[in-house]
Structure 1
């Protein structure tokens, strides 16, 4: 057990995780528990529990007379930060600062109403897609819910707000001719390897960038997805707007084993012989970031002269 994790191995072979669920009248903590057969699953479940319900106070109600901006900062740094990944924290922080605080920062937390939230949603509709509005809205709603749980507000102004409908677009796949053209061009240089991996395995671009040679079992022809890489925004740090982070996949199901086709196995073996890095996809022997792979794919599309709507994600 790592220090402060509250994860234990039980006598029956299962792992048990403990998280603060509520605070009793006498001030003591009431804990909730999760169980699983593996340490990783329990850790993921604890992260989800802590993020969904940061800490529910049932004791004495305290007063909060500050502005929404002050509460949002407190919620994010003191309540959420210890329980979520750095990339998630950066995402929350960026979305609050860019999309929410310009409208609500200086408003008293207690005086924000459902009408204010409706106006915020309408304003966001001018610049964001419906799916993105819903993401921002979930963050705002969670922020208000934490204030409600602590007795700082009586009602969550985000309740019963009607959000824009998400129109799901059908993903257009490559035709067989287009895929053959992309594969042929990708095989010419090492820079095409991540594109081949995406086509053959269905891996996400961040997973490909974080893939290491140790994750591939060539004897069994199996590849294990165990981590992902992404660039996150750091809006509060002067002089450094973004940062590359490497973490475990976002969900338990994202950690998976993928069988390798003979085609991609041969390509990987070929480039492994020439590699001096622990990472599979590199640039000058250093691992690359997702947008570098995206640039490579755009260049391949230009070379084959195809107007492809397909994008690497």
Structure 2
């Protein structure tokens, strides 16, 4: 079993985790990926989304405008997390017992975390003028495979990884995963069996490469004394995907994060990636709903920045 998997999960979790990722990527659970003919057939098929994405609505650049209706017009305090000064990257709201979900991706995600392609293929704005540029372009730390270090860290993070994390909070997507309800605890918060976020006290939370690894190696106990397993924590899936992706793309043998402090990097912030400035309220024009098993995406109004957002965020979670 690969080192990266054992960093973020237990050996007995292998089949379950595989089924979770296959569901996200809309790959049949029983498909034999060691069969060359089956792989060729899969590669020849058009890209398609899982039909359960019909029950998911994603709002980019702020709190989902459907939240007030969800609460009957009486929003509980703190429900608009994108407006919280703490600075959330994104948040999810399962509804109807987890069968449907609203996802809000906050502006902070795109102002502080680069798109995946900007990490793997750095653009001109990522050139570091303090480095020697005489032979070839040299980029800021955290941009380009040669500047990501040798351990899992926030240098590997991307906007697509944030979205992947939030997809794990959509229980309805995984309704057909064998033993999902038996494997994942019921949450009164989501009114569903819900892959959640560990909130401490040790590790301090369930976010980041080091804390997720800690949950896998030494599963903590929750307030009721029950073991909190790595398959319960959304960021364990995200970091397994992130580390696996960059190990393959950058041909790196990435190692364990040495400490929580070592994970948090001060990477240069990306350029704002859209044609509208972050100060503009886009609540009337940036709700996406994945419609069916195709690349069809509905949005209420058209705009170049919407297309780019779809291409670089919705699509990358399939590959991250």
Is the pair's TM-score, using the shorter chain for normalization, greater than 0.5? no
Larger radius of gyration: 1
- The answer to which structure has the higher helix fraction is 1
Q: TM-score, with normalisation over the residues of structure 2?
A: 0.26
Greater strand content: 1
| TM-score computed with the length of structure 1 as normaliser | 0.27
Structure possessing the higher relative contact order (Cα contacts under 8 Å, 6 or more residues apart): 2
